[in-house]
Amino acid sequence: MTLVIGGAFSGRHDFVFSHFKKEDCYEISSEDVREFFEEQSRAQSGTVVPSKVCERISSFKVVIATEAGCGIIPLSTAERNSREANGRLNCALSGIAKNVILMTAGIPQFIKGKLSSFDNLSCEKNFYAVVFRHGQTISNVLRRFAGGLSDVSLNETGILQAENVHKTLLALFGGFQKNVKNQILNSKKVFVSPMARALKTAEIIFPDSEIEVVEDFREMRMGLFENMSHEELSLGMFADGSKSKENAQIYQNWLDSKGALPAPSSKEFPGESIKTFTERVCKAFRKLIDSSSSEEIPIVVAHGGVQMAICYNFFAGGKLYPYFSWQSDNAAFRFGEILT
């Protein structure tokens, strides 16, 4: 995505439409600003979260935005809040944009990006991906660590969630760039984790697409924490039936490391660390995108862990947000431009 920003009558539109087709362009509206403000207001205080508004807007090749921070400070609280939201949306978009161009008196200046010629902009290829999380399971409800060793199925709510996504797929991608939307809605193939909850979700949402199982999109193997709750683990209870103070301390050490330590293992319950899990997922995803053409948008249906690994490591601006913030709700998706 290329972000073109400037004040009123700065020459933004003349520049954009002399280099891009209109169908590839999107101009930020007051509704986008309002939606972004409401979305970020719902986030936990002090946290920075990826924006669904930005995901939708980033499906366009070029985005036109207004620089509102250099004018007179508005008198009303509502107008000041709107200007702040506008500025924060611009900041979020600039973080995921490949190029940012500032227009001043009709003169374009690259403030992000290294292209030597403006004419090259319209020739750039954009690569995208969509990563869905599976629908709800009983382990989600009970807040258990159901990882790559627990092949739990969707519960009734999870099935309904997936069915609702299928019914509303057109609306969910309705605001996306037309070609991007059509590629997603008419996808011939979906890449899916081998686990039952992901397979069923994919079958429901994309009933007309070929399903290709990718073994390495299996959720992180949680070892002796597998399918246990926080409360059980805090009491020292492990998946092999053992219970001890030493077990509780192992779990606390793992929590303190934020998953950097590998989950404790046994022969029956092998565990992974976030690092080894991420390497596994990223290697599989890299192979997938290297074999895809620019006319294909890979659709992955897998797990929250797989979402985090792919989005954090491959999406434009992925590392601007905390690793764990990339997990979506059940049966929801993340969309982003891929850094090739």
Does the residue 296 lie in any domain?
yes
Is this structure's pTM higher than 0.95?
A: no
pLDDT band at 279 (very low <50, low <70, confident <90, very high): very high
Residues 191 and 292 in one domain: yes
Residues 76 and 118 in one domain: yes
Domain final residue pick, 107, 123, 139:
123
Does the residue 262 lie in any domain?
no
Q: Mind listing the pLDDT tens digit for each residue in 182-233?
A: 999 999 999 999 999 999 999 999 999 999 999 999 999 999 999 999 999 9
Residues 74 and 215 in one domain: no
Residues 201 and 54 in one domain: no
- pLDDT of 82 reads 79
Query: Which residue range(s) make up the domain with 296?
Result: 128-221+272-337
- pLDDT of 255 reads 95
Domain final residue pick, 77, 92, 123:
123
| Average confidence (pLDDT) over 88-99 | 93
CATH number, domain at 97?
A: 3.40.50.300
Angle (CA) 36 310 31, round 5°: 15
How would DSSP label each residue in 14-82?
Answer: HHHHTTS-GGGEEE--HHHHHHHHHHHHHSPTT-----HHHHHHTTSSEEEEE--TTSPPPSSHHHHHH
Q: How far apart are CA 299 and CA 202, in angstroms?
A: 10
Residues 94 and 190 in one domain: no
Residues 186 and 108 in one domain: no
- Indicate the number of domains in the chain: 2
Residues 22 and 44 in one domain: yes
Residues 172 and 90 in one domain: no
Residues 296 and 152 in one domain: yes
Residues 182 and 50 in one domain: no
Domain final residue pick, 123, 143, 169:
123
3-state secondary structure 82-105: HHHHHHHHHHHHHHHCCEEEEEEC
Among candidate residues 139, 161, 141, the one with its CA nearest the CA of residue 150: 139
Which of 22-26, 48-52, 201-205, 286-290 has the least mean pLDDT? Answer: 48-52
Mean pLDDT of the chain: 92
Residues 36 and 154 in one domain: no
Does the residue 326 lie in any domain?
yes
| Average confidence (pLDDT) over 132-161 | 97
Q: Are 107 and 118 in contact (CB under 8 A)?
A: no
Does the residue 76 lie in any domain?
yes
Residues 60 and 199 in one domain: no
Q: Mind listing the pLDDT tens digit for each residue in 171-190?
A: 999 999 999 999 999 999 99
